[in-house]
Amino acid sequence: MQANLVVPLVHDSQLWGLLIAHHCRSTRTWPTWEIELLQSMGNQIAIAIQQAELYQTIEAFNATLQAQVAERTATLVQVLGFEALLKRITQKIRDSLDEGQILLAVQVELLRALSVRECQTNVRCDTDLPCAPPTYAPDYSLICCIANRISVLVIPIMIAGETPEMLGDLCLIDKPEREFSDLELSLVQQVANQCAIAVRQARLYTAAQQQVRELERLNHLKDDFLSTVSHELRTPLTSMRMSIQMLELTQQEHAFSSKQQEYLRVLHSECQREIALVNDLLELQRLEAAHDDRPLDPLDLRPWLEQHLAATQATREVRKLHLKTSGLADLPGYVWASTLRWERIVQELITNACKYTPPGGTIELKVAWQNSVLTLAIRNTASIPAAELERVFERFYRIPQLDRWQQGGTGLGLALVKQVVEYLGGSISASSDHQWTEFTVHLPASLLAESGARPQPLKTGGPVQTP
């Protein structure tokens, strides 16, 4: 090799290589045009090499980008699948109040979705004992490989709060090379949280059902006791009433002193009070047994209501109570009604209004007849606290703020009224504000037929549709 012509391959001040021309036979002086030609070729080669490298870089970038897109797409599909799975599991376990069905649904869904060998749920029975957060991992999860044989993921089933409550754990078991992803960990954690809520609800429901059954049992025992006591009291009360009647006959023959007359009056009054209490208890028992063969009677509404209002006139005059009525003139004539039961309803409500209205207060009676339903609204200037208003229809309940000994009564009146109204297929409600208390009753009835035919004994049905 006698002569060399070397041209550097440079682009952007960076040497990529050399372009060398050899002359082997003899020495040679390279003419200018050859040098320029070789330099031009070198520049073109440098540009081509750069483009090739850029193409390779772009191809590699595209491949990486496609891989990332595929990975992100797979992750997105997995996330959407896990969200749908979580929604499906949540719906299933929240629709069930059976603890066994809840745990079984969780196992089946996770086993199918995560393709693990086994899914277990271990539930503690002593759920009343609070449990401190576990120390084996800060996120309450554990991934381990036991003797290179299995991979285990354990998530606690825990009620979060100031004092966390451990209900059990959710365990996934798979082959040893299985590594649970962050998405899978998050999914199982959320499933465990929903499972904890559902299990807690199921246990609360079970406890509530047990309480309901126990209350029903106690209520039956109470009713049986009241029924037995009521029947057993009737015999001595009957004897007492007969003795009082004999004393009254004796009084007609032999004059009693004023003290003896007062004693006899108190004895007669208290005996009648106890008889009324026993009769109320027996009436409640009959209504609960839904047995009544009493026929309906024709009832003229307006004179009947005016008669009950007149019966309280003396009490109203003593207490200086004002009575206002409306709607009496618009009432129809005769209707078929269970007279004794209707009288019990109206008498109790009017008597209570007179009893609990302060002196100088007002009592209002509004009546209306529409669509074969009689509506009575009795309101008076008195107030019942909202907390007590919900309990006024309970048996033996007396409002604590009222003087029960001054007003008297057993607390059975409104309970019996409600029972009678509902037995007749009607409805009753109570409302009160800081000035007025109102009881509204809706009673179904039919107008007296022109033929005068008497209907069959009372047949009760569902609640009346109020107009």
**pLDDT, tens digit, 9 for 90 and up, residues 223-252:** 777 677 766 776 777 788 888 888 888 877
Q: Can you give the pLDDT at residue 59?
A: 92
Rounded Cα–Cα distance for residues 184 and 175 (Å)? 16
Would you tell me the crossing angle of helices 413-423 and 258-288 to the nearest 10 degrees?
Answer: 40
Instruction: Examine the pLDDT at 463 and tell me if it is beyond 60.
Output: no
User: 341-398, pLDDT tens digit by residue?
Assistant: 888 889 889 988 988 888 999 999 999 998 889 999 999 998 888 888 888 888 777 7
For domain 3-72, give the CATH superfamily.
Answer: GAF domain (3.30.450.40)
The rounded distance, in Å, linking the Cα atoms of 297 and 202 is 52
Say yes or no to pLDDT of 449 above 60.
no
Core vs surface per residue 179-205: b (16+ CB within 10 A) or e? ebeeebeebbbbbbbbbbbbbbbbeee
Q: What is the mean pLDDT of residues 40-48?
A: 83
CATH code: domain 297-447 is 3.30.565.10
148: pLDDT confidence band, cut at 50, 70 and 90?
A: low
Domain 96-289 = CATH 3.30.365.10: no
User: Quick check: 334 pLDDT over 70?
Assistant: yes
Give buried/exposed letters for 53-72 (b at 16+ CB in 10 A, else e): eeeeeeeeeeeeeeeeeeee
What is the total residue count of the chain? Answer: 467
Closest CA to 167 of 206, 126, 202, 137: 126
The pTM score is 0.48
Highest mean pLDDT of the ranges 61-70, 82-91, 110-119? 61-70
Residue 335: exposure state from Cβ atoms within 10 A (0-12, 13-18, ≥19): buried
- For the stretch 253-286, pLDDT in tens is 777 888 888 888 888 877 777 777 777 677 766 6
Q: 314-332: per-residue pLDDT in tens? A: 888 888 999 999 999 888 8
- State mean pLDDT over 438-455: 72
Residue 214 has pLDDT above 60, yes or no: yes
Instruction: Confirm whether 3-72 and 96-289 share one CATH topology.
Output: yes
The answer, yes or no, to whether residue 458 has pLDDT greater than 70, is no
Six-digit token pair at 202? 């199921």
From the list 237, 276, 233, 274, the residue with the least C-alpha distance to 413 is 276
Please report, for the chain, the start and end positions of each structural domain, with discontinuous segments joined by +. 3-72, 96-289, 297-447
Residues 6+ apart with CB under 8 A from 205: 97
Does residue 176 carry a pLDDT above 60?
Answer: yes
| Tokens of residue 230, six digits | 């009521």
Question: Amino acid letter at 163?
Answer: T
Alpha-carbon span 318 to 355, nearest angstrom: 11
Please give the structure tokens belonging to residue 405: 């000994």
Which of 10-24, 340-354, 401-415 is predicted with the least confidence, judged by mean pLDDT?
401-415
The Cα 321–Cα 438 span in angstroms is 16
Burial of 459 (0-12, 13-18, 19+ CB in 10 A): exposed
Residues whose CB is less than 8 angstroms from the CB of residue 333 and which lie 6 or more positions away in sequence, other chains included: 300, 301, 447, 448
